[in-house]
Amino acid sequence: MNSKPSGMPFETLLKKQLKTNEVKLHFDQVQFYLQVARIISELRAKAELSQAELAKRADVSQPMIARLEKGDHRRTPTFDTIYRILKALGYCMTISIKPERGVA
């Protein structure tokens, strides 16, 4: 039995849902936290530090590092926390703001 699943392809459904402001905002927020997570995780790996070592250097808890690296958006870190973590890794934080595509 080799039948194709019926219904709408995921990409089509996602495109349709992202036209809704509430869904788009949530999607963009999750993307932002995942981007921060990837950056912190990659920099920590590059520095060859464990989560516990980084936490100690940044004066935060190891679970905070773990949540941050998972992109857990339910308990978001403050800019101060992110700044301290980046500083402990030998980096500084700058903020860049640009208009979204399609927004005048």
Neighbours of 68 (CB within 10 A): 26
Read off the pTM: 0.74
Q: Which domains does the chain have, with CATH numbers?
A: 20-88 (1.10.260.40)
Q: What is the pLDDT of residue 1?
A: 53
Distance, in Å, from the CA atom of 103 to the CA atom of 43, rounded to the nearest integer, reads 32
pLDDT tens sequence for the chain (104 residues):
555 656 778 777 777 777 778 888 888 888 888 999 999 999 999 999 999 999 999 999 999 999 999 988 777 788 899 999 999 999 998 888 888 876 65
Distance, in Å, from the CA atom of 17 to the CA atom of 10, rounded to the nearest integer, reads 10
Q: What is the pLDDT of residue 91?
A: 96
92-104 burial string, b = 16+ CB within 10 Å, else e?
Answer: eeeeeeeeeeeee
Q: What is the pLDDT of residue 5?
A: 57
